Amino acid sequence: GAVGAGSPAVPGVVAQFHLTDAIFQPKIASHQASARQFGATAARNDTLRDAAVAYLELVRAEHGLAISKESLENTGKLTELTRQYAESGQGLQSDHQRLEAELALRQEELVSREEDVEVASARLAQVLHADPSILIQSGEPTVIPLNLLEIEDGPASYVETGLTRRPELAEQKHLVCE
């Protein structure tokens, strides 16, 4: 009946653990959770940036298409005028032929701009996980410049502030602390 030579005489629960685990495991779990949260924020920021860039590319393509349509319309009017002048003898036939060639170039440019709009729409749909076969339209009549902040201290201070507040850096900091 030596002490410690066998099972305890009275049935009970035996617990054996490291004191360091009891102290540090909650802190490690907290750092893991924080790192994952900052990682999710970084992923969300990347997705928002990609969507904004794709949307602005769509707006650019739509405005290019509008310019091409107006250019084609004006070239068509000018071609008709030169045709009338050439038929009446007041203008040269070569001027009319030159404008017909220009009109054909403008028509090709219009087709190219329509393709640009379709590609930009498909890319935006891909970023948004939407059906790329459905044409997305921005509905922006004009491009309005975005003024996100007023630069007072100079760009260097804003770059420094932006880099120190990156969620990727906070994520890595918490992973190191873990």
Q: What is the pLDDT of residues 117-153, one digit of tens each?
A: 999 999 999 999 999 999 999 887 777 777 777 778 8
CA-closest candidate to residue 99, choices 131, 76, 122, 69:
76
32 token code pair: 């893991």
Examine the pLDDT at 4 and tell me if it is beyond 80: no
Mean pLDDT score, 58-78: 95
Give the other-Cβ count within 10 Å of 36's Cβ.
13
Rg of the chain in Å (alpha carbons): 34
The encoded tokens of residue 133 equal 């076969």
> For all residues of the chain together, what is the average pLDDT?
87
Task: Give the whole-number percent of the chain exceeding pLDDT 70.
Answer: 92
- Mean pLDDT across 64-85: 94
Q: 91-98 long-range contacts, Cβ below 8 Å, gap at least 24?
A: none
Say which residue the tokens 């969507």 belong to: 51
| Lookup result for tokens 């002048």 | 85
Position 35, amino acid: A
* pTM for the whole structure: 0.72
